[in-house]
Structure 1
Amino acid sequence: MSCTAPEMRSLRNGATTVTYAVTGPTHSQARTICLIASTGRGPEDFFHLATHLAAGGLRVVMPRPRGMGGSEGPLDSIDFHDLAGDAAAVLRAEMGPGGAIVTGHAYGCWIARTVAQDFPEMIDGLILLAAGAGKWPEELSQAINTAMTPDAPEAERLAALKMAFFTEDHDPRPWLQGWSGDVVRAQRAARGRTDRDSWWPSGTAPMLDIVGLQDPFRSEADRDFYLREFGPRLTLKLVNGASHALPDEKPAEVATLMLDWIGAL
């Protein structure tokens, strides 16, 4: 399936301008799903996945984080709730009657969970894509630092992407682009600023946890990390041949899992 470029829109959320991509049927005809990107990255990582989701009947919205490509707003002294508010504003503008689905990729899972916690009346389901466990090796965080540094030697950046994000048979080169160091730093600081108890419960909606079997941020011992946390509220699905860049590596397979789960809600 070819990737169709979504339409770009923008809105105001208090002092912040949020730009976002949208594709799929109109909100009066379809359930809306919001996809929140991983640390320091934007909605482009979701475009192939979004094409499959839209073909499956969903209206897909993908906010760009503040500090990137037209999304502008305070980056100092923000926390998860500020970032969740931006995503919720996009959902509120684009969703039709009834609730929506909120989805995060990697770091975006924390923001999606905060949306589900802060705006439970909007959310019918919460999906985690490549969510890390409680802890992971420090070398993986360092690999992100290397991958996002444009002045680092390309060979080192590609090696970092292969170690932390991609399986051997997937080309990491497109991910040399699309990073914002300023956004990464602001998002990391936001994590440290946010009281864990204020977002960890993740609302009350059913949850789907999709994990790549080759994802180093989720070791075999931690595959059931969120099952242990949330019990029968959560469904765990595993995807072989995928690492931490799961939705970009396996968009068709991930979309099928998402659509089947959403259809059964």
Structure 2
Amino acid sequence: MNARTRLVVERNEMHDGVNHPVRIDVVAQGQGPRVVILPSLGRASDEFDEIAASLVEAGYRVLRPAPRGIGGSDGPREGVSLHDLAADVLAVIASDGAGPAVIAGHAFGNWIARVAAGDRPDLVRAVMILAAGPRKVAPLAIQGLEQCLDLSLPDSQRLPWLQATFFAKDNDASVWLDGWYPDAARLQRAAKAVTPIEGWWAAGGVPLLDVWAAEDAFAPEGTGWRLADDLGDQVTSVRIANAGHALIPEQPEKVARAMVDFLNQLPHTTSGPAA
């Protein structure tokens, strides 16, 4: 039941009156209502292995599309918006059949998840956002991100930045020295820059799970801001202690439990195909 299969989803995307091919490489596993998982900025989805296994065990089908520029996924890289990246995810959901899915997005991935929900509410029944940031991110976090993405720097220089930017003080940041895709990150940041925030902030009004990290440098607990302050009863909030913006490698069991609890209370939907 937990066996993985690889799927390839293809679509076309229009830019300047020209159709461009898009290829999305997907890891699929499990059987049941579908959950799509989207990774953080410039990172792949393999760090969700433990969480995906927990979701499959709980009776869900997990789809992990690789972002453009990572693995076998590719498509136009100029003039792309978050709506284009969300269309990649929506194409995966549509191709898998059997009704709408829940999308979980970690950090940058949460933006794509929310755009997808607003663009195609018929294909997205809820969104789970993991370590999402506020509308304006703390400048120190942005500075740290630049250092972490600079793979020309020695590990000894990058590691303190990884620790301060992404991890709680007592957690091992060295697990994120590898696994970065700077070209994909540049594409993603450019797409975010040209997509107005007002169009996706509320995720089309679908139910939202906000899993937030208590030591997140992008959204410090001391600021008092939470997404529920903006969106009210639409949001279910879960605080994860001893975790920073990385969250997933820090507290996978707690994140998985929060996700499963939220999924289990959603109205029943049609199951997807078996892996």
Normalising by structure 1, report the TM-score.
Answer: 0.92
Task: Describe the SS at the equivalent of 1:228.
Answer: helix
State which of 18, 24, 35 in structure 2 corresponds to 1:18: 24
Task: Describe the SS at the equivalent of 1:247.
Answer: coil
Task: Describe the SS at the equivalent of 2:35.
Answer: strand
Report Cα offsets for 1:212-238 as digits up to 9, x if no partner.
111111122445431111101111110
Match of 1:71 in 2: 73
Contact kept, 8 Å, 1:42 with 1:63, in 2: the verdict is no
Match of 2:243 in 1: 242
Task: Describe the SS at the equivalent of 2:122.
Answer: helix
Distance (whole Å) between structure 2 residues aligned to residue 52 and residue 13 of structure 1: 30
Matched, 1:45 2:20: no
| Same amino acid, percent of matched pairs | 34
Match of 2:260 in 1: 259
Consecutive unaligned residues of structure 1, counting only runs of 5 or more, are none
Aligned pairs for 1:155-166 (under 5 A) are 155-166=156-167
Task: Describe the SS at the equivalent of 2:91.
Answer: helix
Task: Describe the SS at the equivalent of 1:74.
Answer: coil
Distance (whole Å) between structure 1 residues aligned to residue 108 and residue 157 of structure 2: 23
Distance (whole Å) between structure 1 residues aligned to residue 5 and residue 249 of structure 2: 19
Contact kept, 8 Å, 2:134 with 2:225, in 1: the verdict is no
TM-aligned CA distance change 1:133 to 1:196, over 3 Å: closer
Matched, 1:230 2:236: no
CA RMSD, 1 decimal: 1.6
Contact kept, 8 Å, 1:32 with 1:60, in 2: the verdict is yes
Q: What amino acid is the match of 1:258? A: M
TM-aligned CA distance change 1:210 to 1:223, over 3 Å: farther
Distance (whole Å) between structure 1 residues aligned to residue 254 and residue 202 of structure 2: 28
* Higher RCO, Cα 8 Å, sep 6+: 2
Contact kept, 8 Å, 2:86 with 2:115, in 1: the verdict is yes
Distance (whole Å) between structure 1 residues aligned to residue 249 and residue 4 of structure 2: 16
Consecutive unaligned residues of structure 2, counting only runs of 5 or more, are 13-20, 267-275
Contact kept, 8 Å, 2:219 with 2:225, in 1: the verdict is no
Task: Describe the SS at the equivalent of 1:134.
Answer: coil
Match of 2:144 in 1: 143
Q: What amino acid is the match of 1:135? A: K
The Cα shift of 1:67 comes to: 1.3
